[in-house]
Amino acid sequence: MDIVKRLSQEAENWLANMAQELGPLKKPLPIWIGGGVATEFHTGTLVRDSMAVGFGENRVLVRHRLSSFLVAAEPDNREIYVRLGLGRWNEMLAPGWMERAEASGRNGPFEIHVMAPLDIATSIIGGDFWAVDRDEIRTLAIHGLLEAEELRITARAALDLFIGDIGFLETRIEKAVEVVGEGLAIRAERLLGKPERNLSPEM
């Protein structure tokens, strides 16, 4: 299915504002989308209202106000936070993440690529890694989009790009692998028609 048709209305609204900001372009601009919008795209489940946007090798100049842009969507007045800079600075992404992204749609001047579930989970490990972030990893696993060992290998490949004390990231990787296991267990219970177990609330 066309990616654009599956993106949330909030994301499309933001892209329209970005297109207006950039003006006419000589050729389509490839962008990569991660965050909660990407998870919602793959699973149909809303976990958090966020969208991370990257432009690959392109250096795109926009006014600062667009770096944290809130979009209200009628009728429920839902808001979404957009962060620019995906794939830059200290983002935790394994080699090949851009190639693994799904690309099948256009939106105005943009050629849209949605990050693969494996790379969404890896980027979460290097982010804030709050409970809602771990819920996003669990949701991807529940939908059969993650495997524990594959995530461990990919996340460790991403560590090769870091210099310094990575001990806390190694700890997060193992926690993420544990969360994937929880998600897969829930998926198995659902497939067997068993009552789902309650997970202990996370701090």
Q: In whole angstroms, how far apart are CA 176 and each of 80, 126, 179?
A: 25, 11, 5
Number of domains in the chain: 2
pLDDT on residue 179: 98
**Is the domain of 106 the same as that of 157?**
no
- Which has the higher per-residue pLDDT, 91 or 179? 179
User: Taking residues 96-124, what's their average pLDDT?
Assistant: 90
**Is the domain of 63 the same as that of 153?**
no
> If pLDDT is split at 50, 70 and 90, which confidence band does 194 have?
confident
User: Taking residues 102-117, what's their average pLDDT?
Assistant: 88
Residue at which a domain ends, from 116, 141, 170: 116
User: Taking residues 14-23, what's their average pLDDT?
Assistant: 84
User: Taking residues 155-176, what's their average pLDDT?
Assistant: 92
Contact predicate 173/152, CB 8 Å: yes
Is the pLDDT score of 184 beyond 90?
yes
Q: What is the mean pLDDT of the chain?
A: 83
| Structural domain contains residue 186 | yes
Residue at which a domain ends, from 116, 135, 163: 116
**Is the domain of 101 the same as that of 144?**
no
* pTM, to two decimals: 0.84
| Structural domain contains residue 197 | no
> If pLDDT is split at 50, 70 and 90, which confidence band does 76 have?
low
Is the pLDDT score of 77 beyond 60?
no
Query: Which residue range forms the structural domain that includes residue 89?
Result: 3-116
> If pLDDT is split at 50, 70 and 90, which confidence band does 69 have?
very low
Secondary structure of the chain in HEC code, one letter for each residue? CCHHHHCCHHHHHHHHHHHHHHCCCCCCEEEEEECHHHHHHHHCCCCCCEEEEECCCCCCCCCHHHHHCCCCECCCCECCEEEECCCCCCCCCCCCHHHHCEEEEEECCEEEEECCHHHHHHHHHCCCCCHHHHHHHHHHHHCCCCCHHHHHHHHHHHHCCCCCCCHHHHHHHHHHHHHHHHHHHHHHHHHHCCCCCCCCCCC
Amino acid found at 109: P
| Structural domain contains residue 200 | no
pLDDT on residue 50: 82
Question: Residue 147's closest CA among 122, 109, 177, 174?
Answer: 177
- List, for residues 137-146, the tens digit of each pLDDT value: 999 999 999 9
